[in-house]
Structure 1
Amino acid sequence: MLEKVREIIADVTKNQQDKITETSNSSNVDGWDSVAQINIIVTIEAEFGVSFRPEELHSLNSVSSIMEALRLQTAAA
């Protein structure tokens, strides 16, 4: 799951996947702006078959927060 999330973020932000780590976030990844944020979340929702609540979206601004939200979503399924 982590590798796919890293791949999605790298693809959307046009970075090398090896530059995206579990500590990466919107403050330290070039190209991770508000538009990229929406594209990342939409792509993750489609890829993993999950749906985040609108109030969650602002906090999904790091690899670790996305991974935690995905773990919660997939555990609840």
Structure 2
Amino acid sequence: MVDDLDGGSADETVEFTVDDLAYEIDLSRDHAVALREALAPYPAAARRTPEGAARARRLRTAASATTTARRRYTSAVRS
């Protein structure tokens, strides 16, 4: 496994989510520790959301985008 930051050897894959976007990155042990230390103050101060809340938000957003696209299409067809 290759460290995505410096091309060296990676020890683990770290997963994280920001703004409903999920990421994963392969990191060496030192880089993984540095990432966790850099992020530590934020989850410590944050509120936990119920399991599935982020997925439900994504589904609502996707459904809303689909509905908007259908309305625009229907409007264009009627014009």
Same fold (TM over 0.5): no
Q: TM-score, normalised by structure 1?
A: 0.28
More helix by share: 1
Q: TM-score, normalised by structure 2?
A: 0.27
> Which is higher, the Rg of structure 1 or of structure 2?
2
RCO greater where, 1 or 2, for CA within 8 Å and sep 6 or more? 1
